Amino acid sequence: MFAYTVRRVIATIPVMGVVALFVFSLLYLAPGDPAAIIAGDQATPEDVERIRASLGLDRPFLVRFLEWLFRVLQGDLGVSIFTNLPVAHMIKQRLEPTFSLMALTLAIALTFAIPMGVLAAWKQGTWIDRLVMVFAVLGFSVPVFVVGYLLAYTFALQLDWFPVQGYTPIANGLGGWLSNLMLPAVALGGVFIALIARITRATMLEVLSQDYVRTAKAKGVGQRAILFVHALKNAAVPIITIIGLGFAGLIGGAVVTESVFAIPGVGRLVVDAILRRDYPVIQGVVLMFSFVYVIVNLIVDLLYTVFDPRIRY
Amino acid sequence: MSSSSPLLDIQNLQTHFGTIDGVVRAVEGVSFHINAGETLGVVGESGCGKSVTAMSILRLIQQPPGRIAGKILFKGTNLLELSEPEMQSIRGKDISMIFQEPMTSLNPVLTVGRQIGETVMLHEGLSAKDAEQRAIEMLTLVGIPAPARRVREYPHQLSGGMRQRVMIAMALACSPQLLVADEPTTALDVTIQAQILELMRDLKTRVGAAIMLITHDLGVVAEMCQRVVVMYAGRKVEEGSVEEIFLNPLHPYTQGLMGSMPKLGSSLHESGRSKLTEIQGVVPSLRKPIIGCAFASRCPKVTDACRQMAPAIEEKAPNHLVACHYAPRAAAAA
């Protein structure tokens, strides 16, 4: 197990290398000349050329990539073209709101989605099942920003239960943190709940028809233990897989949600950076999110062995 | 409860399933009883309602689409009238069950110790630690080597025979009064089959449980059982002691079953060898109500009376019940 973990961690290195190359070349190939943008409308071609040279944009691709990679490995993500602040520092400042949003969303999604899916499978074909499925379709098809504005309008403007927007750091108190994040997390969680509930239902339906479920019943095991111990543990692998894959959607959704609720997170940072073609910031954020995603999938792989003893690497 | 009343008394059991194209009458008016400590064999070919009868006893049939009617009296209590929680306290404690498929009947993601221990935790309120201790004892009892290690292992680390031993350990952990064994050896190698049967016989005397042994293997019946119920198309066609059924089968279906079984000592080479016979035709569809005798379409002795009127089950010899118009009544029955 330990050896496997070490091997898997090592295996993420080439993955991250490819990600780095991709992140770097994506921006290299993107349209728009940052030198021209920085120089402004009144600049002469010489000014633009000078700025390009000072940014190192005139040198060969591979040289620039390796130089950049070497600095990244030392934790230096470069300096923002616009604010002149180190990118690593800018991202660090914005991490807490984003990770808070993602963690709360995940917690809400798991709390609701798994019991919903289990219930729907158990009560297959009844109105409960149909209700869950209708909710799942809605959760899928209504975009985050629509749900977000609806929630903000109803629960913040009309009912005044939650603040309309903004963010309170967790250090300033759990209550404020939670009340600020509740609406965005619910808005973002909708899709995730729908996704996980559907997979849970489908997998549970398959598991519940297995012989060992009948054995458990024949032993006198109660319905709840049959569902949540005997069956759910068998259904865990596909559910965890979808949570891991859904994490990518969570990252993308966080960007939109942060804009809707004016949360000063990494999502807002990257949107602003893209609009200003602030290359180092974009590269830093994409690289950071890729890293998080790779780590999440590593955890997912390791969790397989926890839930299914037949999986051994 | 008087000592003469049976442990389990099934009266006119009917288990039907509602399907898209009609009702399937899997069990149609079956009655029999099992006495404390005895082994009753239930035989018949695939689809004759043996397993459904067994599942009906423990109410493991999903309802709906299933529907169970009649009476299943266990020590005088009708199991069909109990609430689900009351039924749960009987399953695994008073009545437990062994299934045909040891490969799929154990939960692949729980340790065998957990699965055996769960039964005693549920029914006897043992702590997790004591339950593991009991699981080790049970594994020792069913002859699994290194039980203290095996108890922490998962089903996929065990062979088929070992898994069936685990199933038996699980079923006997609470010392049930009735063990329903649904084809416990069918999925196993012949050598393992003999071991498992030997184990069941041994444990039966130790635990003192009655066994309802469902099988299509007449050899197993001859070895294990005191009495036999022969089922056909969801009905009981014959019932009697093992000796009566084997030496003097009265129902044409039972006679057919006996004829299709090779006899020890009969030569396969000599010209005068006894031929294996088969029962012609197939089991009738259970979707339509059967008029007359269920076996009529395959019976060599069939007459018009058979096709029109279902034969009642009658005692044609002492302790020997048959449902056939033409089964001879034993001369000295009186």
User: Which residue of chain A has the CA closest to B173?
Assistant: A219
What pLDDT does residue B4 have?
60
What pLDDT does residue B332 have?
45
In chain A, what residues touch B123 (CB-CB under 8 Å)?
220
Q: What is the ipTM of this complex?
A: 0.82
Q: What is the pLDDT along chain B (334 residues), one digit of tens a residue?
A: 444 678 888 888 888 888 888 888 888 888 888 988 889 999 888 778 888 888 899 888 887 788 888 888 888 888 888 888 888 888 988 999 988 888 888 999 999 989 998 988 888 888 888 888 888 988 888 888 888 888 889 998 888 888 888 988 888 888 888 999 888 887 777 887 888 888 888 888 887 889 999 988 888 888 888 899 998 888 888 888 888 888 888 888 888 888 777 766 555 555 555 667 777 777 777 787 788 888 888 888 777 878 887 888 878 777 888 888 777 776 544 3
For chain A, give the mean pLDDT: 85
In chain A, what residues touch B119 (CB-CB under 8 Å)?
219-220
Q: What's the whole-model pTM score?
A: 0.80
What pLDDT does residue B268 have?
56
State the smallest CA–CA distance between residue B102 and chain A in angstroms.
Answer: 9
**Pick from B136, B148, B201, B129: which is nearest to B173 by CA?**
B136
B175 touches chain A (CB under 8 A): no
CA-CA distance, A16 to A34, in Å (whole number)? 26
- Reading the block at residue A154, the tokens are 């109803």
B85 prior amide bond cis, ω within 30: no
B109 and A222 in contact by Cβ < 8 A?
no
Which residues touch A301 (CB under 8 Å, ≥6 apart)? A8
CA-CA distance, B181 to B188, in Å (whole number)? 14
What pLDDT does residue B265 have?
59
Per-residue CA distances from A25 to A38, A69, A282 (Å) = 20, 12, 12
What pLDDT does residue B221 have?
87
B170 touches chain A (CB under 8 A): yes
Q: Hey, is B14 helix, strand or coil?
A: strand
Task: Decide: B215 and B182 in contact? Cβ < 8 Å.
Answer: no
Query: Strand pairing partners for B238?
Result: B230, B322
Hey, of B87, B109, B118, B134, which one would you mutate to test binding to chain A, going by the most A CBs within 10 A of its CB? B109
In chain B, what residues touch A229 (CB-CB under 8 Å)?
110
User: Which residue of chain A has the CA closest to B119?
Assistant: A219
A310 and B108 in contact by Cβ < 8 A?
yes
State the smallest CA–CA distance between residue B325 and chain A in angstroms.
Answer: 39
In chain A, what residues touch B91 (CB-CB under 8 Å)?
217-220
User: Which residue of chain B has the CA closest to A211?
Assistant: B105
B82 touches chain A (CB under 8 A): no
**Amino acid present at A233:** K
What pLDDT does residue A116 have?
92
Measured between CB atoms, which of B58, B101, B108 is closest to A218? B58
CA-CA distance, A36 to B95, in Å (whole number)? 84
CA-CA distance, B17 to B286, in Å (whole number)? 10
What mean pLDDT is predicted for residues A253-260?
87
What pLDDT does residue A57 have?
73
Chain A: which residues have CB within 8 Å of chain B? Answer: 210-212, 214-223, 229-230, 233-234, 236, 307-310
User: Which residue of chain A has the CA closest to B124?
Assistant: A220
Q: Hey, is A68 helix, strand or coil?
A: helix
**Pick from B125, B164, B71, B177: which is nearest to A215 by CA?**
B164
Which residues touch B220 (CB under 8 Å, ≥6 apart)? B41, B185, B193, B197, B213
B88 touches chain A (CB under 8 A): yes
A220 and B122 in contact by Cβ < 8 A?
yes
- In what helix (H) or strand (E) does residue B13 lie, and over which residues does it extend? strand B8-19
User: Which residue of chain A has the CA closest to B171?
Assistant: A219
State the smallest CA–CA distance between residue A197 and chain B in angstroms.
Answer: 22
State the smallest CA–CA distance between residue B237 and chain A in angstroms.
Answer: 28
Provide the pLDDT confidence category of residue A118 given band limits of 50, 70 and 90: very high
Task: Decide: B230 and B213 in contact? Cβ < 8 Å.
Answer: no
User: Which residue of chain A has the CA closest to B89?
Assistant: A220
Q: Where are the alpha helices (DSSP H) in chain B?
A: 50-57, 84-90, 102-105, 112-124, 128-141, 147-150, 160-172, 190-207, 218-224, 242-247, 252-259, 304-308
Measured between CB atoms, which of A211, A220, A230 is closest to B99? A211
In chain A, what residues touch B88 (CB-CB under 8 Å)?
220-222
A221 and B88 in contact by Cβ < 8 A?
yes
Q: Look at the alpha carbons of A129, A134, A135, A141 in this order and tell me if their dihedral is positive or negative.
A: positive
In chain A, what residues touch B99 (CB-CB under 8 Å)?
211, 214-215, 218
In chain B, what residues touch A233 (CB-CB under 8 Å)?
107, 109-110
A34 prior amide bond cis, ω within 30: no
Q: Hey, is A275 helix, strand or coil?
A: helix
What pLDDT does residue A77 have?
81
In chain A, what residues touch B172 (CB-CB under 8 Å)?
none
